[in-house]
Amino acid sequence: MFNLNLNFGKKGKKSKKAQSKLSSKYKGILTVDPYLDRVYKEKDASIAIKKKPEYNITNFVTSYISNKDLISAVIEVSNNIPKEDVHDTIELKTYEELGLDQANEYLISSIETAEVGNSRSFHVFVIQPDTIQERYAEMLVETKYIDLLIPSPLLFMQLYQNKILHNVGVDCFVYFTRFDTVVVLYQDGGYLYSKSIEHSLTRIFEKYLELPGDKVHEDEFYNILGKEGLKSSNLDYQKDVMKIFGEVFIGINDILIYAKRAFDLDGIDKIYIGSEFGPISGLEEYSQTYLGHVLSELNFDYEFNTDEWYLDQLQCLMVLSSYDFIDNEESKVVNLTQFHRPPPFHMRPGGQFLITTSLVSIVGITYPSLFLIGAYANKAEIYILSDEEKQLTATATKYKDILAQKSKEIDGLDKQIEILEKMHDSKIKTLEAIYDKKVNYKLKSESFYRFAGDLKAHDVRTDSIKSSNDTYEISLVSENSKSITKLIEYISEKYFDKIDEIDIAQIHKEETSGYYKGILKVKLR
């Protein structure tokens, strides 16, 4: 069964976090979702849906990057690396370990997980700037800037930061949207792993259309799924959707099996499932059958006032992340934004120029003869500085080209070094093998000579000798079995420090010849 925890338009109750923002320089928080074209605004602990984004410098603008648009991995760096070089080291290792194209620029942000032995471990999140630019092109027409851009898997960290969930054990969050369905794992309140599955809500609808029978429109499909879930009165619809969600839970189970093995987890303590339009009823049997877990509803009470029966959880978590980012200098919120707000007017070059020009004009009117010269001097200085700027820009471009060329040369030299190192290693191995043969190789002829002398001394002959590496099999022949026995005792004592193993098959007497025979096996060290 679901653990129900619904928000039905609660009023009159403000979260402590919300109250702390009343004195902030921001009067409201705008959360924008470019994937669903959805906008919420939080002000004075109340949240409402907006028809479209708005530009207002008193709004703090927050959004998120879907897990499907991200590349994530764990990177380890040595503890010996100086603090100021850690970020550059992470970027270099990310390019190497993920095989990123050196010619392309990537946005790389990280969050530290733990120290393991003599190294530090970081979760890194990678995305191409072009992906962000395309995703937010329309939104930026209205908002002009985005203060905070968060990887979606890290939004769930606020559930622990705000004591909504206890940071003990392993929790799994599954959230369905039309663009992406993501499975996120946290361990003891810290981000562990995330993976998108194929079945976003849009993909679920497409699979529904592929099945035979009469079909409903997309909006009606989501409406039924949100209101009736998998227990619809439309039996054909119910049968189709139940079949698709069987595939969904197989995908979720595959991710959990991988995570348990990869991170050595004993198990998953709780699984929370939700969607952009609210709870999906009827998933209990799937959870028990495929995951072996009782589901909990991913729909928490954040103590916001609202007139909506349901608040998109990602929007609420973006608001809490904004609080954390604004208030806490040591916040662990990862920010991928490229769209920074412009500085205050008096700090912009144009603003400083206009302010200076205005002051000069005012003073010039008062003291025309004195400041007319100053005005010309300013124009002359501006002209000189503009010319210097052009020269510096050309110089900077020149050195950027040189650095790019040197970087390519370094890459080429690194590859040559790698080839030479392999050749060097190969030659060392060859020389070592030659040395071993020259110094340590035992000549078989020498061994045979010694054994021949021992055989003759004990009146024992041989009719065959076989050798393999350092192991010899000698067929002994003698008129007396005692001669063979004494020979074996002699060899055992004489070559005690040179023999690993000595053994003889049973000595027997041949009836036809009357001689005693036995096979002696000697293994030298």
| Domain-ending residue, one of 415, 439, 463 | 439
- Encoding tokens for residue 215? 């079909």
Which uninterrupted H or E stretch holds 315? helix 313-327
The residues with which 477 forms a beta bridge, in sequence order, are 461, 517
Angle at alpha carbon of residue 205, lines to 203 and 211, rounded to 5°: 105
- Final residue belonging to a domain, choices 417, 439, 461: 439
- Is the pLDDT at 482 greater than 50? The verdict is yes
In a domain, 355, yes or no: no
Q: How far apart are CA 206 and CA 57, in angstroms?
A: 41
Per-residue pLDDT of 341-368, as tens digits, reads 887 544 445 544 554 565 555 545 655 6
Q: How far apart are CA 374 and CA 15, in angstroms?
A: 57
**pLDDT above 70: residue 469:** yes
- 449 has a pLDDT exceeding 80: no
In this predicted structure, the answer to whether residue 271 has a pLDDT above a threshold of 60 is yes
| Strand-pair partners of 471 | 468, 523
- pLDDT value of residue 148: 93
The beta strand positions in 79-210, using DSSP E, are 107-116, 119-127, 148-151, 170-176, 181-187, 190-197
- Least confident range from 101-105, 107-111, 142-146, 478-482: namely 478-482
**256 and 153 housed in the same domain:** no
pLDDT at 282: 87
Q: Check whether residue 378 and residue 492 sit in a common domain.
A: no
The predicted pLDDT at position 357 comes to: 61
Structure tokens at 438: 């020259």
Same domain, 231 and 273: yes
The Cα-based distances of 428 to 103, 163, 408, 415, 441 in angstroms read 36, 61, 30, 20, 19
Question: Do 291 and 310 have their domain in common?
Answer: no
Percent of the chain residues topping a pLDDT of 90: 34
Looking at the predicted structure, is the pLDDT value of residue 133 above 70? yes
User: Residue 218: inside a domain, yes or no?
Assistant: yes
Alpha carbon distance 174, 280 (integer Å): 12
Q: 191: Cβ–Cβ under 8 A, 6 or more apart, which residues?
A: 111, 113, 123, 153, 154, 156, 157, 184
Q: State the Cα–Cα distance between residues 426 and 435, nearest whole angstrom.
A: 14
Phi-psi region of 461 (alpha: psi -120 to 50; beta: other; left: phi over 0): beta
pLDDT-based confidence at residue 473 (cuts at 50, 70, 90):
confident
CA atoms within 13 A on the CB side of 407: 8
Question: Same structural domain for residues 268 and 395?
Answer: no
Is 3 in the same domain as 145?
yes
Q: Which residue has the higher pLDDT, 222 or 493?
A: 222
Residues 55 and 157 in one domain: yes
CB atoms within 10 A of CB 403: 10
Return d(Cα 249, Cα 254) in angstroms, integer: 8
Instruction: Output DSSP code: residue 205.
Output: H
Q: Return d(Cα 108, Cα 89) in angstroms, integer.
A: 12
What is the domain-level CATH number for residue 136?
Answer: 3.30.420
- Indicate the pTM of the whole model: 0.62
CATH, residue 224: 3.30.420.40
Residue 94 in domain: yes
Last residue of a domain, one of 439, 459, 487: 439
The span from the CA of 424 to the CA of 430, in Å, is: 10
354 within a domain of the structure (yes/no): no
Q: In what side-by-side order are the strands of the sheet with 71-78?
A: 71-78, 119-127, 107-116
Please tell me whether residues 2 and 130 are part of one structural domain.
yes
CATH of the domain at 473: 3.30.1360.100
Q: What is the pLDDT of residue 191?
A: 95
Distances (CA, A) of 294 to 3, 33, 72, 271: 9, 30, 29, 7
pLDDT at 10 over 50: no
In this predicted model, which residue has the larger pLDDT, 186 or 308?
Answer: 186
Same domain for 471 and 413: no
Is 222 a domain residue?
yes
- Weakest mean pLDDT among 105-109, 113-117, 209-213: 113-117
Residue pair 326/42 in contact (Cβ under 8 Å)? The answer is no
DSSP helix/strand/coil, 59: strand
pLDDT score recorded for residue 513: 79
- State both tokens at 172: 């799994």
Q: How far apart are CA 145 and CA 416, in angstroms?
A: 46
Q: How many domains does the chain have?
A: 4
Residue 74 in tokens: 């764990």
Mean pLDDT for the stretch of residues 469-486: 82
Report residue 105 as tokens: 């620029």
One domain for residues 198 and 281: yes
pLDDT at residue 459 in the model: 82
Q: How far is CA 47 from CA 43, 298, 316, 317, 378, in A?
A: 7, 18, 9, 12, 51
Q: Are residues 43 and 149 in the same domain?
A: yes
Residue 358 within any structural domain of the chain: no
Whether the predicted pLDDT of 3 surpasses 50: no
pLDDT at 258 over 50: yes
pLDDT value of position 1: 35
Residues 6+ apart with CB under 8 A from 521: 471, 472, 473, 501, 502, 503, 504, 505
Q: Using DSSP, how many helices (H) and how many strands (E) does the chain show? A: 13, 18
* pLDDT tens per residue, range 183-233: 999 999 999 999 999 999 999 999 999 998 888 899 899 988 888 888 888
Neighbour tally for 57: CB within 10 Å? 13
- Is residue 473 a part of any domain in this protein? yes
What tokens appear for 90 in the block? 């992470």
How many CB atoms are closer than 10 A to CB 345? 11
Query: Which of 59-63, 121-125, 320-324, 489-493 is the least confident region?
Result: 489-493
pLDDT confidence tier of residue 26, bands split at 50, 70 and 90: confident
Q: Pairing state of beta strands 170-176 and 461-468?
A: unpaired
Cβ pair 200, 252 in contact under 8 A: no
Establish if 352 belongs to a structural domain. no
The DSSP code sequence of 106-142 is: -EEEEEEEEEETTEEEEEEEEE-HHHHHHHHHHHHHH
* Mean pLDDT score, 375-396: 80
Domain of 487, in residue numbers = 444-524
Residues 273 and 186 in one domain: yes
The pLDDT mean for the chain works out to 83
> How many Cα atoms occupy the beta-carbon half-sphere of 495 within 13 Å?
19
